[in-house]
Structure formats: C-alpha cells, structure tokens
C-alpha cells in the first residue's frame, strides 16, 4: 500500500510503497514533478478528462497488472475450458461416483475462471454523451513500463526479492543509467537497490507474524535508510518490534496457489499456478549481509522442505559463488 509522509509547505515529501503500490507511487511522484503540489493538478485533470478519446474507452486495458490474467484474456476461453474438462470427467470415469468426485472440482474451477473473467468486464455508461455505452476488459498484466526516476528525488531505496519465482512478478527497473552516472558520488547515495533472501512477501510482509522473520530484516533495513535523511522521519521505535532472523522461513507462492483449498481435489497435473520465472541477479549486485549469513548457515525452511539455501540466481555472484558446489568459475 502506498503511503506518503508530507512536511510543511515547500518542504520535502517521503513516499513508501510495496510492489503492488509502487506503480501508483511512481506516477504520483511524476505528477508532482510536472504540476507541483497536488492541489494544482485540478486544472490539468479537467483538461485530461475533456480530451479523453472515446475510442480508448473501448480498448482493452492491459497495463500494470498480471498474474493469471493471461489465461483469461477472452471469456470464451474460460467457457471452453469449463465445458471441455467437464465432458472429459464424464467420459473418463464410467462410475457415476468417480465422475462426480472428479467433476465437482472441475466445475468449481470452471466457475472460478468464468467469474474472474466477468469481474474484469467494465462498462462505461452515459459518457461522453447520454446513452453511450462502452465495454472494455481490465486485464492485469503486472508490467511497469516506466523506470524513470526524477533526479529531484534525492533519496531512493529499493528492496529486491532474490527468491521470487513468479514470471509475472519481474523486478521493476528503476532509473536510467545516464542518471545513475550523473548522480554518482552523493552522500548518502541517490539510489540504493539491495537484494534480500525470500520471495515477494518475505520482503514486503503480509505473512503471519511467526513466519515473518525475513520481512523483519527488510523492514529494519528501511528504517536504517530513513536515518540517513537530512531530516529523518520521527518514528516511535517503542512500537517497532522486530525479530529479524537470516534463517527464517521462506515462502513459495507458486506452491501455495497449487495447494489452495479449491484445487486440492484436482490431480496435481490439472492444478493451475503462476508461470515460473526466476530473477536475474547481477554478479556485482548489492546483497544484504543476511543473505551471506543464510548461505553459510545450515538447512532452512523453504515453504514445505528444509535444505541449504542455494538459489541458482546467486551462483555467479562474486560474494556467493564460493558456497556453490562446484564453485562457479572466477569471472575474467
């Protein structure tokens, strides 16, 4: 959820956002850059609405979101899957009992696909003229097309998840190389991007408290970074209770979706989950010190198994390669 901390008029503004709110937060910062304080955006907003293209209202909205939306891009796909799996269940199982046992979860899956698609259907009525009616589908794609970071932003920090393995949750690039070079040498640094162990929510939080030791690490780092500000944000540290542990539990959202209650009756090969896609970590990227502690320690819990922490994304990293067997060759 995006959050802003605002100072006195003419002063600074501090913004925070997790991955789901970062797109809105970046857009808000860009709008501040263009128009100044949000109170002055009223005229520009009126102009934007007045010049809105009616043809755009009918076009599919495919920016900024994702997940399983790719599988649901047309309503007839959901219907075809729904009918095909239902017929298959009846044909394969001759027994009425077995057909029901297999058909009920299939019917439920089809129902979920269909209702999800219907929720994506958006209707605009009586605009721009009375009686007008336009339909479009808001299909989430989880893409961020704008990596621009304004150099008027003096302090930018980005916590990244090493172990996020969902294809539709790629790392959103931030800042252009020429701006990074131009802002080099500042103290504190203009932009700092650090990798942490864990998946998306192991960094940003949202798991039960007794499974949140990794996210406590990231939160502690963010608080430390705020202390570097010229005018640090005042926090009530007594309310900030953190128990960071580099060997804490790590989650896997792909497995979690496949194990969801509404899919448990389905054979594993018929269960749906997020497409897999592992992140690339630059060999010289900044790792939080706890990543190296986790690599050097014993077995850790990764969702439903315990094993030594060896993410393939770090095999070529200059600080982590020694923990892999055989060690990755030295870079030339």
> Which segment of 14-23, 182-191, 215-224 scores lowest on mean pLDDT?
14-23
Give yes or no for a contact between 109 and 260, defined as CB atoms under 8 angstroms apart: no
CA distance 313 to 47: 47
Q: What is the mean pLDDT of residues 121-135?
A: 87
What is the band of 37 on the pLDDT scale with cuts at 50, 70, 90?
low
Model confidence over 129-154: pLDDT tens digits?
Answer: 888 998 888 776 655 556 788 888 88
Residue with tokens 């539990």: 249
Q: What is the mean pLDDT of residues 208-236?
A: 91
Is the pLDDT at 27 greater than 70? The verdict is: no
Report which of residues 247 and 43 the model is more confident about: 247
Residues 6+ apart with CB under 8 A from 248: 211, 212, 213, 214, 216, 217, 300
- Average pLDDT in the chain: 77
Is the pLDDT at 331 greater than 50? The verdict is: no
**Per-residue confidence (pLDDT) for residue 9, from 0 to 100:** 53
DSSP 8-state secondary structure symbol assigned to residue 30: H
**Residue 125, φ and ψ in degrees, nearest 5:** -115, 145
3-state secondary structure of 122: strand
Is the pLDDT at 94 greater than 70? The verdict is: no
CA distance 171 to 144: 9
Is the pLDDT at 161 greater than 90? The verdict is: yes
Q: Following CA atoms 319, 158, 187, 145 in sequence, which dihedral angle do they give, to the nearest 10 degrees?
A: 110
Residue with tokens 């390669």: 321
CA distance 314 to 291: 10
CA distance 69 to 66: 6
Model confidence over 299-316: pLDDT tens digits?
Answer: 999 999 999 999 999 999
Q: What is the mean pLDDT of residues 234-251?
A: 92
Give yes or no for a contact between 165 and 199, defined as CB atoms under 8 angstroms apart: yes
Q: What is the mean pLDDT of residues 274-299?
A: 96
Task: Tell me the residue length of the chain.
Answer: 332
**Residue 95, φ and ψ in degrees, nearest 5:** -75, 135
Residues 6+ apart with CB under 8 A from 137: 60, 61, 73, 117, 120, 121, 122
Is the pLDDT at 281 greater than 90? The verdict is: yes
Model confidence over 66-80: pLDDT tens digits?
Answer: 444 444 445 455 555
| Bond into 188 cis (ω within 30) | yes
- Whether the full predicted model's pTM is greater than 0.95, yes or no, is no
Q: Following CA atoms 91, 94, 96, 98 in sequence, which dihedral angle do they give, to the nearest 10 degrees?
A: -90
CA distance 123 to 133: 7
Model confidence over 256-274: pLDDT tens digits?
Answer: 999 998 888 899 888 999 9
Is the pLDDT at 106 greater than 60? The verdict is: yes
What is the band of 237 on the pLDDT scale with cuts at 50, 70, 90?
confident
Residue with tokens 């897999």: 276
Give yes or no for a contact between 232 and 188, defined as CB atoms under 8 angstroms apart: no
DSSP 8-state secondary structure symbol assigned to residue 84: H
**Per-residue confidence (pLDDT) for residue 302, from 0 to 100:** 96
Report which of residues 14 and 130 the model is more confident about: 130
Residues 6+ apart with CB under 8 A from 225: 155, 157, 192
> Which segment of 103-112, 149-158, 202-211, 278-287 scores lowest on mean pLDDT?
103-112
Residues 6+ apart with CB under 8 A from 80: none
């Amino acid at each position: 959820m995006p959050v802003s901390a605002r100072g006195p008029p003419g002063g600074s503004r501090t913004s925070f956002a997790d991955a789901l709110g970062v797109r809105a937060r970046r857009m808000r910062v860009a709008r501040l850059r263009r128009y100044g304080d949000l109170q002055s955006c009223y005229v520009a907003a009126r102009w934007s609405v007045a010049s809105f293209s009616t043809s755009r209202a009918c076009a599919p909205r495919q920016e900024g979101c994702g997940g399983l939306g790719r599988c649901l891009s047309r309503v007839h796909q959901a219907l075809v899957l729904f009918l095909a799996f239902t017929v298959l269940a009846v044909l394969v199982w001759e027994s009425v009992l077995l057909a029901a046992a297999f058909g009920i979860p299939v019917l439920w899956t089809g129902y979920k696909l269909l209702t999800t698609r219907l929720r994506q259907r958006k209707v605009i009525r009586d605009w721009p003229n009375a009686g007008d009616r336009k339909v479009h589908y808001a299909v989430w794609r989880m893409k961020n097309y704008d990596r621009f970071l304004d150099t008027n932003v003096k302090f930018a920090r980005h916590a990244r998840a090493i172990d996020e393995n969902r294809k539709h949750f790629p790392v959103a690039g931030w800042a252009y190389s020429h701006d990074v070079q131009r802002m080099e040498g500042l103290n504190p640094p203009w932009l700092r991007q650090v990798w942490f162990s864990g998946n998306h929510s192991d960094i940003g939080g949202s798991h039960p408290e007794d499974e949140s030791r990794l996210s406590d690490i990231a939160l502690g780092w963010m608080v430390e970074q705020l202390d570097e500000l010229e005018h640090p944000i005042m926090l009530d540290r007594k309310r900030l209770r953190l128990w960071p542990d580099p060997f804490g539990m790590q989650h896997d959202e792909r497995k979690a979706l496949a194990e969801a209650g509404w899919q448990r009756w389905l054979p594993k090969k018929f269960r749906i989950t997020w497409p897999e896609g592992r992140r690339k970590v630059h060999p010289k990227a900044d790792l939080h010190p706890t990543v190296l502690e986790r690599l050097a320690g014993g077995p850790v819990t990764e969702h439903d198994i315990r094993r030594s922490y060896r993410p393939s994304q770090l095999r070529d990293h200059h600080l982590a390669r020694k923990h892999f067997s055989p060690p990755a060759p030295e870079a030339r």
